[in-house]
Structure 1
Amino acid sequence: MAGAPVKDQEKKPFNYMAVVGIIFLIVVLVALFNMLKTTESGTVGIGEVGIGDTAAPFAVPIATSDLEGDANVDPEEACQVEGSDALRICDYFDRPLVMSFWFTKGASSCIDQQDVFDEVASKFGDRAGFVSINVRDDRDRVRELIEENGWKVTVGHDQDGAVSNMYRVGGCPTFLFFRRGGVLEEAEIGSTTEEELSAQVRSLIDGQQEQSQEASQGKKSGSG
């Protein structure tokens, strides 16, 4: 007896939408990879200011002072804020400057990094400026940390995060290195050691001295 005829298997329709979805996912992943690669190889932690640009001006209350309020990031007014209880970044542009952004929420190791920063500042404070900016932490807690750790570097309090947003600070700590005049030389995110940070500061100072000598020689040759 002949068996029942076997039906031809029906061909499954081509799933066009699935292919489109896979291609779209690949494109997104490639774009994300390139973005991360660019972030790592570019100017770390900097938003409006790039390497070779002048720092965006701002003024914030000194953490240990009685001055209350949010940061002033108005480019026309920030450097004109009056009072000894305000930290004006423009006041530090007369020599090389190292700035540290830090916070404790979700980054407890940042406290140890400020110990490193303060120690390096004590060694090079006669040749460069050092500024510490706390971002959005409880101010009383910041004051306690300053007293407990004996930090000598001036600490500004970025209460509303306006300064950190302007500089796109996304990690703790973020170190910025400026030449005299507030020109950004280098920016880095992540933990460091006293030896490593000292080497970076020394390089910043030496580079500034070389530029000053070259400028002086240029003036002499021009007047000769």
Structure 2
Amino acid sequence: MKNLKNKHWLIDVGLIFLIIGLGILVVLELRQSILLKRQQVNPPSNETVSEITVPEGTNPNPETITEELSPEEQSSDLFTLDGKPVALEDYQGTPMLVNFWATWCPPCLAEMPLFQSYAERYDDRLVVLAINAGEDESVVRNFVDQHGFELTFLLDPTSAVVHQNKVFGFPTTLFFNESGELVKTHIGELNADLIERYLLLLGLNE
């Protein structure tokens, strides 16, 4: 009888350790899921409070987001819609507005006409690049044809340039001066007032 009680006690202890182990695995899985979700699209914001403008609710790593690479440090992981390989340094020598976007991102689509208007207003004084992150050429081309935009659309099929620039959410827009130096990073949807302010930092005005 005593041996039977001892066996029951051992079984109960084993079940307790098994339950604890399963609980730890569940917690680890939930933590991983939360970390992945934090890298998804973040809510847009028009607030600018520092050199790196982050919308409310976004929590990027401040130690890495300030380390975006200049165009000279980029590799040629970009392609035109016609399949021609290019790099950001190909456009250096003129101030650049470089927007990272995706067709599934509503704020990205909302600000696209604004970029079109600034590309037309500043003509050869400002290069406006719309870099699509990770989507097929056919998807991007259909979008461009449907809306009739005439911006310089580039493809980043492996999201290599996205990662090089520590882009954590879409849309994200980088402003480079004519020397290829990063002057401003804005995360979230832009408006005309903010663009005007950032272009002044690049030495551009009407």
TM-score (norm 2): 0.62
Residue 143 of structure 1 and its aligned partner are, at CA, apart by 0.3
Please provide the CA RMSD for this pair: 2.6
Match of 1:122 among 120, 123, 145: 120
Residue 123 of structure 1 and its aligned partner are, at CA, apart by 0.9
Match of 1:150 among 148, 151, 163: 148
* Residues 134 and 158 in structure 1, CA contact (< 8 A), matched pair in contact too: yes
Match of 1:61 among 76, 79, 99: 79
Alignment: residue pair count: 147
- Superimposed CA distance per residue, residues 130-188 of structure 1 (whole angstroms, 9 cap, x where no aligned partner): 11100012321110111122221111111111110111111211110111121111111
Secondary structure (helix, strand or coil) at the match of 2:125 reads coil
Secondary structure (helix, strand or coil) at the match of 1:192 reads coil
What is the percentage of aligned positions where both structures have the same residue? Answer: 23
- Do the aligned partners of residues 147 and 194 (structure 1) sit closer, same or farther apart at CA in structure 2, a change above 3 Å counting? farther
Secondary structure (helix, strand or coil) at the match of 1:185 reads strand
1:201 aligns with 2:199: yes
- Do the aligned partners of residues 166 and 138 (structure 1) sit closer, same or farther apart at CA in structure 2, a change above 3 Å counting? same
Give the greater-gyration-radius structure (CA).
1
Structure 2 residue runs of 5 or longer lacking an equivalent are 1-48, 54-59
Amino acid at match of 1:61: F
Question: What is the distance in 2 between the residues matched to 1:172 and 1:41?
Answer: 19
TM-score (norm 1): 0.58
- Superimposed CA distance per residue, residues 170-210 of structure 1 (whole angstroms, 9 cap, x where no aligned partner): 12111101111211111110111234323422442349xxx
- Do the aligned partners of residues 203 and 49 (structure 1) sit closer, same or farther apart at CA in structure 2, a change above 3 Å counting? closer
Residue 48 of structure 1 and its aligned partner are, at CA, apart by 7.9
